[in-house]
């Protein structure tokens, strides 16, 4: 208990906050270790090092979290012991300063969030000073105690809430906070709604509230001791300065990469601190490839990529060394068929019977696979919907950091939709939720798509909805109406439909499948989406446009990408079906394909002649030795080829593995210089195009 005092009784609140944070973080880490143990395959020494490493990050964050309390106890004055006129005068002075700050006297650039918080604090202190000017000493001491109890109550509510949040985040993603958590901070309406619908929020709030009250009750004597403490301003300033110096030094000295000491990804995540990782993700949400990754001279990288993209149907349009633009030429007549692209939320390949599942949750897709061009060795670009949409729309390797869909200046780009539009097609994007989410509205509208979302559905036509959107059957009903309208206009159409039901809280209308919605399990949501696709295609089959339509069905990403390795291939394996009874013969494509290959492959099936900047390949006309795939997180960039995988990561790290396509594990092997250069080149050229804004139509 003596450590809580931190040099003196005056700094008791700082010690309480620091120790509470470190202890809570320790128990969260131990809890996650126990939960992850069956899958992590960690060695005893890894548990020990993870605990020690985690303690270091906990200390750093604990000191940073304590800073507001350090300032409070440092500047806490002793005016409550003075005559009543003293706090009154100080209060009046503070209010005058506050009023000046809110006028146009101050420069406009100061009107930021931090500034507003500072002004709010000044006004708050004024109110306290003013109040103390009219009460006796005992009441002033009581007010001081109440204020500290309130500050600590807020701290403990946040502390306990974060502990619960970390556990649920780990359950969903098997990692500490990352860029997904940063995104969730932006879309609070959907996230809070998802929490309400997925978890017993009332119970959690009650437990957190009770834990906070109990903790404050146990600390009441310490707080009362603090309220009565006095200390010379010189000594308290020295102590506060020392604490702030230690916090600052640790902040700049301790590196995020230190916790990545193991080849086991679970170990590295457990050795981290959630809040620290959130800060890192927030800071690195837009990683510059040329600063954080190994590079080649630009001319060499472009040369390698151009050689990889060269084939018998491609003719580069000019001799520019820094351009992959080429004319795609078909020897067959073009087919102006309609195209409906269905991207399914979180549809892992492992859910299908064709890939070994015994759950029978995709009976229709399994039967449809036998009637389609079925790609069995297909891989998603990333782990988020925006990464899937990016790959399907732009046919570009995933650049590190944030998806292009969520970046500024992402309009008028070269997209699959722009190719169809140049051919006279109506191009559309249909989403079951509100399309402002993940910046979909701005991206697709800015690139020539007509964006249609849940706001286009009459309330009476909605059978079911949750925070993410309407049930998939209602979205497909909207799609049928939209496609009927397209047909009546006489133009061919390209319509991209993005489903939403296979997402936590995994709820859907009752009576559709044999898994009740109230169970709220992933298997039910997958089977419901499978039911909806079946219903949609049955309704489409009687439409006049059906016989001239190609249906492409693919996942946006897997349900989970967790694994003991940084990029487990099993976490990116997704199904791809291309179905058109009148035009495409059923066949199985077993060769390696990437999500970015869908656009050029589809256009190849239509025999389109077009000008291309796509990085993807028409895999049906690409020799086996050129097949490759891209998989990624927001930092790790993977390149699969010839059963080997190159992974690039910050800062300028490159490693090569042999992946296990059954377990997701990977064996480290010596680097193959030519494969490493090819991996670097594709990502580097993609980053170059984005950085220089050259990926325009």
Whether residue 79 is predicted with pLDDT greater than 60 in this model: the reply is: no
Query: Phi, psi at residue 555, to the nearest 5°?
Result: -85, 155
Beta partners for residue 669, in sequence order = 656
Q: What are the distances in angstroms from CA 595 to CA 343, 377, 387, 660, 684?
A: 11, 11, 10, 20, 18
pLDDT exceeds cutoff 80 at 3: no
Query: Residue range 8-21: average pLDDT?
Result: 88
User: What are the tens digits of pLDDT across the range 513-559?
Assistant: 999 998 999 999 999 999 999 999 999 999 999 999 999 999 999 98
3-state SS class at 644? strand
pLDDT score recorded for residue 235:
81
Stretch 321-335: mean pLDDT: 94
Q: Which of 72-76, 90-94, 679-683 has the lowest mean pLDDT?
A: 90-94
Indicate if the pLDDT at residue 627 is higher than 90.
yes
Least confident of 127-136, 342-351, 487-496, 537-546: 127-136
* DSSP-based three-state secondary structure for 431: strand
Q: What is the pLDDT of residue 538?
A: 97
Q: State residue 111's pLDDT score.
A: 45
CA distances from 184 to 188, 193, 195, 481 (A): 6, 11, 11, 33
pLDDT category, 78, cuts 50, 70, 90? low
492 pLDDT tier (thresholds 50, 70, 90): very high
Q: Tell me what pLDDT residue 77 has.
A: 62
Inform me whether the pLDDT recorded for 348 exceeds 60: yes
Q: Is 342 helix (H, G, I), strand (E, B) or coil?
A: strand
Residues contacting residue 348 through CB under 8 Å, at least 6 positions apart: 555, 558, 559, 560, 573, 574
Top pLDDT among 443 and 266 is at 443
The whole model's pTM is what?
0.77
pLDDT at 675: 96
CB within 8 Å of 259: residues ≥ 6 apart: 53, 54, 57, 268, 271, 272
The string of pLDDT tens digits covering residues 654-691 is: 999 999 998 888 999 999 999 999 999 999 999 999 99
pLDDT higher at 598 or 227: 598
| 73-86: burial string, b at 16+ Cβ within 10 Å, e else | bbebeebbeeebeb
Distance CA 502, CA 495 (A): 20
- What is the 8-class DSSP label of residue 589? E
Mind listing the pLDDT tens digit for each residue in 265-312? 888 888 988 888 888 777 666 677 887 899 999 999 999 999 999 988
Percentage above 70 pLDDT, the chain: 85
Q: How confident is the model at residue 123 (pLDDT cuts 50, 70, 90)?
A: low
**Which tops the pLDDT comparison, 403 or 287?**
403
Q: What percent of the chain has pLDDT over 90?
A: 56
* 149 has pLDDT over 50: yes
| Mean of pLDDT values over 124-147 | 66
Which residue, 568, 601, 562, 569, is CA-closest to 584? 601
263 CA to centre of own chain? 23
pLDDT at 592: 96
Residue 559 is predicted with a pLDDT of: 86
Fold of the domain spanning 290-691? Alkaline Phosphatase, subunit A (3.40.720)
Instruction: Name the pLDDT band for 85 (thresholds 50, 70, 90).
Output: very low
Domain range summary for the chain, segments of one domain joined by +? 2-80+153-283, 290-691
330-344 average pLDDT score: 96
């Amino acid at each position: 208990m003596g450590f809580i005092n931190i040099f003196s009784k005056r700094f008791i609140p700082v010690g309480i906050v620091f120790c509470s944070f470190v202890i809570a973080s320790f128990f969260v880490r131990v809890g996650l270790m126990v939960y992850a143990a069956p899958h992590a395959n960690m060695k005893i020494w890894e548990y020990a090092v993870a605990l020690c490493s985690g303690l270091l990050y906990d200390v750093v964050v604990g000191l940073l979290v304590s800073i507001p309390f350090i300032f409070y106890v440092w500047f806490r004055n002793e005016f409550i012991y003075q005559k009543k006129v003293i706090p009154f005068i100080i209060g009046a002075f503070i209010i005058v300063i506050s009023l000046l700050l809110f006028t146009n006297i101050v420069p406009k650039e100061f009107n930021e969030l931090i500034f507003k918080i500072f002004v709010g604090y000044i006004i708050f202190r004024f109110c306290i000073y003013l109040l103390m000017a009219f009460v006796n000493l005992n009441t002033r001491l009581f007010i001081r105690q109440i204020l500290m109890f309130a500050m600590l109550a807020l701290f403990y509510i946040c502390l306990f809430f974060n502990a619960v949040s970390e556990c649920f985040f780990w359950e969903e993603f098997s990692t500490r906070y990352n860029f997904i958590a940063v995104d969730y901070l932006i879309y609070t309406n959907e996230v809070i709604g998802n929490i309400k619908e997925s978890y017993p929020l009332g119970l959690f709030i009650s437990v957190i509230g009770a834990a906070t009250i109990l903790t404050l009750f146990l600390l009441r004597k310490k707080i009362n001791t603090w309220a009565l403490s006095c200390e010379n301003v010189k000594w308290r300033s020295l102590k506060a300065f020392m604490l702030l110096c230690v916090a600052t030094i640790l902040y700049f000295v301790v590196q995020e990469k230190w916790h990545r000491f193991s080849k086991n990804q679970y170990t590295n995540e457990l050795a981290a601190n959630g809040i620290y990782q959130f800060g890192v993700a927030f800071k690195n949400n837009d990683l510059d490839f040329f600063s954080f990754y190994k590079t080649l001279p630009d001319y060499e990288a472009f040369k390698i990529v151009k050689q990889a993209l060269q084939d018998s149907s491609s003719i580069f349009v000019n001799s520019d060394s820094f351009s992959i633009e080429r004319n795609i030429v078909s020897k067959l007549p073009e087919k102006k068929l309609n195209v409906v692209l269905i991207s399914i939320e979180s549809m892992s390949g492992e859910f299908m019977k064709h890939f070994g599942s015994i759950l029978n949750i995709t009976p229709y897709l399994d039967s449809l696979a036998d009637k389609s061009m079925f790609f069995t060795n297909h891989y998603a670009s990333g782990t988020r919907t925006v990464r899937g949409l990016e790959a399907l729309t732009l046919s570009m390797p995933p650049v590190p950091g944030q998806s292009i869909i969520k970046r500024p200046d992402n309009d008028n780009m070269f997209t699959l939709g722009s190719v169809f539009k140049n051919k006279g097609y109506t191009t559309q994007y249909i989403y079951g939720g509100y399309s402002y989410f993940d910046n979909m509205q701005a991206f697709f509208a800015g690139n020539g798509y007509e964006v249609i979302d849940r706001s286009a559905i009459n309330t009476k036509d909605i059978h079911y909805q949750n925070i993410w959107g309407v049930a998939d059957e209602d979205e497909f009903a909207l799609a049928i109406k939209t496609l009927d309208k397209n047909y009546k206009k006489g133009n061919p159409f390209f319509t991209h439909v993005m489903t939403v039901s296979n997402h936590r809280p995994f709820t859907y209308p009752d009576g559709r499948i044999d898994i009740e919605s109230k169970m709220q399990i992933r298997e039910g949501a997958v089977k419901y989406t499978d039911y909806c696709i079946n219903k949609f295609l049955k309704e489409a089959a009687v439409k006049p446009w059906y016989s001239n339509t190609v249906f492409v069905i693919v996942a946006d990403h897997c349900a989970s990408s967790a694994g003991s390795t940084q990029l487990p291939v099993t976490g990116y394996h997704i199904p791809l079906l291309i179905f058109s009874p009148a035009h495409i013969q059923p066949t199985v494509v077993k060769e390696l394909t990437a999500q970015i290959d869908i656009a050029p492959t589809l256009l190849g099936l239509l025999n389109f002649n077009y000008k291309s900047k796509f990085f993807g390949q028409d895999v049906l006309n690409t020799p086996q030795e050129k097949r490759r795939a891209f998989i990624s997180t927001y930092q790790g960039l993977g390149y699969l080829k010839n059963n080997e995988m190159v992974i690039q990561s910050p800062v300028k790290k490159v490693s090569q593995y042999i992946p296990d396509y059954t377990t997701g594990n990977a064996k480290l092997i010596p680097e193959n210089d030519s494969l490493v250069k090819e991996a670097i080149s594709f990502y580097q050229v993609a980053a170059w195009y984005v950085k220089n804004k050259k990926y325009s139509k």
